Amino acid sequence: MSGPKITTSKSTLMHACLAYMSPELNAIDYIIRGPYTKSNPRQVTLPTEILLLIRGWLFPTITAHLIKQSMTALAVYEQSLRDLLCADCIAYNVDIYGQDIWQWEQFSGACSCNPGSDNQIPFQHTHRTTLRNSTRNSRMGRHIISLDPQQFVDAEHWLESYLYQTATLFEANRRGHEWSVPSGTRSAPPTDIWDVVHSALREYDCEVTGEFNERKRTRNRAGRDQFLVKRKLVQVVPSHFRDKGHPSSDTSWRAEANLRRAGMDLGLLLEHPHPPIIPVKFSPHSTRRLRWPSASNSCYKGQDIVELFQTFFQILASLLAACLSLPITFAILALTIVCFYSRPRSFRIL
């Protein structure tokens, strides 16, 4: 008889565990779990039940924001790689290997026929992430990944590296706040995004299976022949079912309860929007400028600056139209009243 398990995608699991260590969630967890004393009272007086509802809404919102941010960063990174080639080299690779840039096996760097390119100059892309601290001062963190076409095997390999750097920023921000790190719970910094996953699941006495025993990843494209195709889905199971072959009824009940709590707290059973990683249509004449979106953890609706200005100008135009139409309306009304009572000859019917 198989034990309880939760089947989810690796992307959902990685982003959920990354959201679990985000500054926003650490802050609300401290508010919920923090001790209430007269010397150090809570900043809010909301009941714990309402705070848990707020946390239940906040967590999937943060996860969805991180997913959207990752997909945007991946698209920009792929476009930055294409900008290393000229139009003819891009057309050649597309004709031979297709639109997917990760399948361009002969793509090893900037082409010599591209004006202004230099293979000796290390290209890098940076991505800024705003981390809000307790004094509401923003601190900027950067993702720095060299533009080496052979550095990553595929998009998933790049995603793991990108999420690991995000986790490093979150960990640095968390260690900068003594209140968010309970005494006796400090651990070594993560060395891989899957360390973050294991650490988050360990708090629920759970673990992920079906992936790491069979994974054999090469660190670049040179060993593509030895690369094993990894499964897109993983299983989260209670740790007790691996330690004990036939657990007792009490242990089975506790294990299932821990698994359900992990699935609920981490949002593993929710359907998050995962845009398919499809090779985008691109123009060979695109610029070499690296375009990176700014991500703020205080807003997760995805409304960028352009949309904000468009909304502002629409409201401003409506106000101006109202200011212009009101005087004209009052003038027409006054003229109608004057004409009604004066009754000039030209307006008289009888």
On the CB side of 259, CA atoms within 13 Å amount to 21
Per-residue confidence band for 323, with pLDDT thresholds at 50, 70 and 90: confident
Residue 235, helix vs strand vs coil: strand
The Cα–Cα gap between 139 and 129 comes to 8
Question: Could you read off the pLDDT of 205-239 as tens digits, one per residue?
Answer: 888 886 544 444 444 444 444 333 345 788 888 88
The Cα–Cα gap between 136 and 120 comes to 41
Which pLDDT score, from 0 to 100, does residue 43 have? 56
Question: Could you read off the pLDDT of 43-102 as tens digits, one per residue?
Answer: 556 788 888 888 888 998 999 999 999 999 999 998 888 888 888 888 888 888 888 888
Which residues, including other chains, have CB under 8 Å from residue 145's CB and lie 6 or more apart? Answer: 77, 124, 125, 151, 158, 161, 162, 165
**Looking at per-residue confidence, does 299 or 68 come out higher?**
68
Question: Could you read off the pLDDT of 98-131 as tens digits, one per residue?
Answer: 888 888 888 888 888 755 544 443 444 444 444 4
How big is the chain, counted in residues?
350
CB 279 within 8 A of CB 93: no
The Cα–Cα gap between 174 and 170 comes to 6
Per-residue confidence band for 15, with pLDDT thresholds at 50, 70 and 90: very high
CB 201 within 8 A of CB 268: no
Distance set, CA 38 to CA 35, 41, 178 (Å): 10, 5, 20
**Looking at per-residue confidence, does 39 or 194 come out higher?**
194
Neighbours of 147 (CB within 10 A): 18
Written as one letter, the residue type at 53 is L
Which pLDDT score, from 0 to 100, does residue 248 have? 61
Handedness of CA 130, 131, 136, 139 (dihedral sign): negative
Taking alpha carbons only, the member of 155, 84, 162, 159 closest to residue 126 is: 162
Query: Which range has the top average pLDDT, 15-19, 50-54, 209-213, 246-250?
Result: 15-19
Which residues, including other chains, have CB under 8 Å from residue 43's CB and lie 6 or more apart? Answer: 31
Q: Return the structure tokens found at 56.
A: 């239940």
Which pLDDT score, from 0 to 100, does residue 345 have? 63
Which residues, including other chains, have CB under 8 Å from residue 270's CB and lie 6 or more apart? Answer: 60, 63
Domain boundaries, the chain: 6-302, 309-347
- In order, the DSSP letters of 102-117 are GG-TT--S--TTSTT-
Element containing residue 253 per DSSP (H, E): helix 249-265
CB 64 within 8 A of CB 268: no
Distance set, CA 145 to CA 4, 81, 111 (Å): 39, 12, 20
Q: CA gyration radius for the chain? A: 29
pTM: 0.62
The Cα–Cα gap between 183 and 63 comes to 27
Q: How far apart are the two ends of the chain, measured CA to CA in Å? A: 100
